[in-house]
Structure 1
Amino acid sequence: MTNGSQAVDRIMAEFEADSWAASLTPRLVQFAAVARHEHVTRAAQWLGVPQSTLSRAMVRLEADLGVALFARRGRTVALTPAGRTFLRAVERALTEVERAAETVRADADPAAGKIAFGFLHTLGPETVPGLIRAFRVDHPRVRFQLVQSYGEAMIERMRTGDLDLCLTSPVPEAPDLVARRLDEQRLRLVVPDDHRLADRKRIRLAEAATELFVTLEPGYGLRRITDALCAEAGFKPKIAFEGEEAETLRGLVAAGFGVALLPPPAVPRPGVAELTVTAPRAVREIGVAWLDGHPDTAPVAAFKRFLLSRRGQLLPR
């Protein structure tokens, strides 16, 4: 649970435990207006409410708090020490609310709003920068909040509201998600350039059954795909190393730690040979996912449409 959600839970618990807290909140603007104008009638005119209504609201507020907030001289009022203390807190709270309102309005702005977008590490060097560059041709002022992670972590961040959508693999299946396949990417068996298989162009994965593998950690989509392809080829891979990033694995292959099933690199790495796997069919599907029923801001909706328009064109060929 995040610190923010813990704070909300505390506030809600206080509202439930102390019913006056919930009734207090709508009167904060009224209190601040009276305190600033130091006159009930002028404050009522500014708020657009009857003077009698505002007077009664302030009396109830003081009764609820159990303390005098105003010293009254007719309709003119002055804050008591308790009132000054309360006003400082109320002004801070109202300022934060106003800032939050400005932020959410700005984030939803069709021309200059924000998109919280997650993507896999392997899509970072070329694919995602290219997508953002192409999207900004028609949406030059839209802002991106980018998160680079693995699939399960991004899906959890969507569920907590930290992400609007993500590019991930495999394409997830869950009742609370909407997922669309966009493209597929061939995986290669990567071996050291002095390996016994390095001179081959193509290979059946079963021929690597006796090799040590370097892989991503459990929970990563590419790890699940690797395990599934090896099982389909009739063996369980012997794992020499589990990492968090594909290019680290490629470097370890070059150093002779083992072999790996990996997508193509953004830039060829010396010290390795990359073999086409002919059987089983070694590909990973890349898809976009978002929460089902989650309302989109205008920029998020536009970016979804853009991504879906790139089906079959997401990855370099």
Structure 2
Amino acid sequence: MSHEKEDAQLAAELAPALALLGALAETANITRAAEVLGMPQPTASRRLAALAERVGAPLTVPAGRGVRLTKVGALLAASAERALTTLAGGLRQVRAEIDPERGRVVLGFLHLLGRSLVPELVRGFRASHPHVRFGLVQGSRQDVLDRLHGGEIDLALVSPPPADGALTTVVLAEEELFLAVPSGHRLAGRRRVRFAELAGDDFVLHEPGYGLRRITDELCAEAGFRPSVAFEGQESDTVRGLVAAGLGVALLTRFAPEPPAGVVELPLTPRVAREIALVWPAADPLTPAVRAFRDHVLEWPGSNGLEWSGEISGDPGDPR
């Protein structure tokens, strides 16, 4: 066994007794050290003797009516103090994390949802939980789901909802999607458009991994053609700007209160909509703060033109 492995094994064995060394460094008396730790004096003496035997050197020597640490004991006591300080800091973080009024929520979401939906949800929650902290993570649908699986985020707002048994999914709302075309496009004057009519057009698409890209690809496949990709982007505003420049058409959400100059939004027939879902790991327990925010989102009445639903899929049993 290497020295590193031996040291790691020894450290694991010594850990339960380190608090005793720290107390001895402060009190210089086994009886008082035992009182500080809330243990009987004989237990403290036996633990100290066992620790010295395992280390292979005396840790204390008599000093008057008390004891003093040997050089070996002082070295271990100093390490114990640092370790216990670190542990105490970790415990403070844990208490803050599990405090429903002072915990932290890491929310992942799609870029477009950060414009109004996420701020509205967070503002409404902070009205009754003013001390809860938030970490906000934006990204593509796939990036957000990967981070959710990896434990980097607690909850995610994504679209379309994932079909993943490891996740609990609540479909929150439905949002209609529109075809965005340049104002000079041949279809710009139409009241409604069928997707099959776009077979010969250039498309401005989101990059792979984004929900709107997946929906667009599926609609093209259903219509019997593969899209001619003129440009790819990450932000819907960038995609819309490229449409305004006459560089292609795109499937996008409605731009409120009205489309920017150079863009015409056309409803599709049959109607096309995307579902927005709240997602969290089915097997992992949620901290009180995360659970409180999740419940707030599920009870939110909805706005921003979204049709709020709240249908649970995935694991319907939620013991958290």
Taking the aligned partners of 1:94 and 1:22, their CA distance within structure 2 comes to: 14
SS in structure 1 at match of 2:286? coil
Is the contact between residue 98 and residue 288 of structure 2 (CA under 8 Å) also seen in structure 1? yes
> Out of 244, 269, 275, which is 1:278 matched to?
269
Partner of residue 38, structure 1: 28
SS in structure 1 at match of 2:45? helix
Partner of residue 192, structure 2: 202
SS in structure 1 at match of 2:212? helix
Partner of residue 269, structure 1: 260
Name whichever of 17-26 and 85-94 sits farther off.
17-26
Matched, 1:53 2:43: yes
SS in structure 2 at match of 1:196? coil
> Out of 160, 172, 177, which is 1:182 matched to?
172
Taking the aligned partners of 1:71 and 1:278, their CA distance within structure 2 comes to: 89
SS in structure 1 at match of 2:21? helix
Is the contact between residue 41 and residue 75 of structure 1 (CA under 8 Å) also seen in structure 2? no
Taking the aligned partners of 2:267 and 2:57, their CA distance within structure 1 comes to: 79
> Out of 114, 132, 135, which is 2:104 matched to?
114
Distance verdict in 2 for CA 1:242–1:50, change over 3 Å: same
Taking the aligned partners of 1:66 and 1:269, their CA distance within structure 2 comes to: 78
Where does 1:281-300 land on structure 2 (aligned, <5 Å)?
281-300=271-290
> Out of 51, 68, 83, which is 1:93 matched to?
83
Taking the aligned partners of 1:184 and 1:14, their CA distance within structure 2 comes to: 55
User: CA shift at 1:294, angstroms?
Assistant: 2.0
Where does 1:40-189 land on structure 2 (aligned, <5 Å)?
40-73=30-63, 76-189=66-179
Is the contact between residue 106 and residue 155 of structure 2 (CA under 8 Å) also seen in structure 1? yes
Q: Which amino acid aligns with 2:160?
A: P
Where does 1:222-233 land on structure 2 (aligned, <5 Å)?
222-233=212-223
User: CA shift at 1:285, angstroms?
Assistant: 0.5
User: CA shift at 1:120, angstroms?
Assistant: 1.0
User: CA shift at 1:18, angstroms?
Assistant: 5.2
Matched, 1:244 2:234: yes
Is the contact between residue 185 and residue 315 of structure 1 (CA under 8 Å) also seen in structure 2? no
RMSD: 2.3
Structure 2 gap ranges (5+): 307-320
Name whichever of 86-95 and 122-131 sits farther off.
86-95
> Out of 299, 305, 311, which is 1:316 matched to?
305
Taking the aligned partners of 1:41 and 1:200, their CA distance within structure 2 comes to: 90
Structure 1 gap ranges (5+): 1-12
Calculate the TM-score normalised by the size of structure 1: 0.87
Is the contact between residue 193 and residue 254 of structure 1 (CA under 8 Å) also seen in structure 2? yes
Taking the aligned partners of 1:159 and 1:215, their CA distance within structure 2 comes to: 26
Calculate the TM-score normalised by the size of structure 2: 0.86
Q: Which amino acid aligns with 1:277?
A: L
User: CA shift at 1:260, angstroms?
Assistant: 0.9
Taking the aligned partners of 2:49 and 2:65, their CA distance within structure 1 comes to: 13
SS in structure 2 at match of 1:278? coil
Taking the aligned partners of 2:184 and 2:198, their CA distance within structure 1 comes to: 15
Q: Which amino acid aligns with 1:271?
A: G
Partner of residue 316, structure 2: none
Is the contact between residue 116 and residue 144 of structure 1 (CA under 8 Å) also seen in structure 2? yes
Is the contact between residue 104 and residue 133 of structure 2 (CA under 8 Å) also seen in structure 1? yes
User: CA shift at 1:75, angstroms?
Assistant: 5.9
Distance verdict in 2 for CA 1:22–1:214, change over 3 Å: same
Distance verdict in 2 for CA 1:222–1:66, change over 3 Å: farther
Partner of residue 22, structure 1: 12
